[in-house]
Amino acid sequence: MSTSDGIPAAARAGTDPLRRTALVAGVFYLLTFVSIPTLALYGPVREPGYITGPGPDTPVIVGGVLEMVVALAGIGTAVVLYPVVKRQNEAAALGFVGTRVLEAGTIVMCVVSLLSVVSLRRAGAGADALPTAQALVAFHDWVFLLGQGTIPAVNALLLGSLLYRSRLVPRVLPVLGLIGAPLLLASVAATLFDVWGQVSAMSALCALPIAVWEFSLGVYLLVAGFRPSPVIAGTPLGNQSEISGNDDETIRI
């Protein structure tokens, strides 16, 4: 793939700090999808007989490791993008970093709660520990709902607005996030009031736009990098009327 200046993208990534930033951010965003199998991996620990049975423990531990990767990658996306998007709005960019860290904290809490059930089983706690195990699973579900249901919506609103205004990526991408955020919040509210279950077709449908937004953003940053913008040119917004885009169309500010 070549850029508009004729320099191959791979070569430009090695010399252009902003291209490297986009590349690393894209990799981090795609890494946040490695936890997709955890719903199935965590299946055994939810069974009532798990605490008194022989396991298995390995799927639960693997799921925990994958979620820890997601937590760290999520923080990485914010830390890497912060120096760029803060040029658009530093307060919103700092808020994005803060909510990403908070989201990672809720992921760690979820992992600890389920691995605690594994520890109870390994210690031979038996049937007497069943209420405790069920409480830990319920704790995981509530933290997941409130932490990983509401915070990604806030992330999408913050980063989506920054990228939409700066035009660092095609505007269709942040629009997905800006549309998906209220849908995800509505799904959380519906689950809270028992309109539908936390794991249901409707909850998955409402979460889909946010998932598409983050995945497509990761792919775009990895493949194409940032689009030309006064933000990365160091030009104060509003002082430049137009710049040329990668696709030879004129971007109007």
Question: pLDDT digit string (tens) for 60-107?
Answer: 999 999 999 999 999 999 999 999 999 999 999 999 999 999 999 999
What per-residue confidence (pLDDT) applies to 234? 54
Question: Does the pTM exceed 0.75?
Answer: yes
d(C-alpha 159, C-alpha 180), whole Å: 13
Exposed e or buried b per residue across 118-139, where buried means at least 16 C-beta atoms within 10 angstroms of its C-beta: bebbeeebeeebbeebeebbeb
Which pair of tokens denotes residue 228? Answer: 């030309």
Q: What is the mean pLDDT of residues 6-14?
A: 48
Q: Does the pLDDT of residue 158 top 70, yes or no?
A: yes
> Which of 3-12, 62-71, 150-159, 227-236 is least confident?
3-12
CB neighbours of residue 183 within 10 Å: 16
d(C-alpha 118, C-alpha 109), whole Å: 15
Question: pLDDT digit string (tens) for 174-216?
Answer: 999 999 999 999 999 999 999 999 999 999 999 999 999 999 9
What per-residue confidence (pLDDT) applies to 91? 97
Q: Does the pLDDT of residue 6 top 70, yes or no?
A: no
Residue 83 Cα distances to 18, 63, 65, 143, angstroms: 10, 32, 29, 30
Q: Does the pLDDT of residue 252 top 50, yes or no?
A: no
More confident residue, 27 or 229: 27
| Average pLDDT for the chain | 88
More confident residue, 245 or 157: 157
> Residue 165: pLDDT band by 50, 70, 90 thresholds?
very high
